[in-house]
Amino acid sequence: MKEPEARCFKCGKAIEPAGKNCSPWDMPCDGVVLTGGGNYGSRIYDTLVDGVAVDLIVCDDCLTRHKALLRHHKVDRDRWARCTHCTVKDEPIEDIGKYHDEMRAEYEARAKAMKTEEEPE
């Protein structure tokens, strides 16, 4: 599957790669890639259920313009570098809706089986 066009999620500005041999989805110039997956709140993406995470790019202009909407916090830079640069790129998913339906059905079947096992005879 081809990567989606690299554009800022907020303003739609085209994002170029920061280097010659990389994708803007890995190293955007003048922006950041943010990765998330549910956090027990999304009904669309739930990494714990279906293993799917979502990436988006936000340009530096939007990060600056909307700074009041951001939560800033300090991180251990050594730990952060070890964790974020060891990401494994998995196979792209062609039809995310179908995939979610299949994963949800599998999850519900496992939950039902576990509930059945817990019931006393």
Residue with tokens 């739609």: 12
Instruction: Show the tokens assigned to 10.
Output: 């907020």
pLDDT tens digits, 93-119: 566 567 667 767 776 777 777 767 655
CB atoms within 10 A of CB 71: 4
pTM score: 0.63
Q: How many CA atoms lie within 13 A of 7 on its CB side?
A: 7
Average confidence (pLDDT) over 6-10: 96
Is residue 19 very low, low, confident or very high in pLDDT (cuts 50, 70, 90)? Answer: confident
pLDDT above 70 covers a percentage of the chain that reads 69
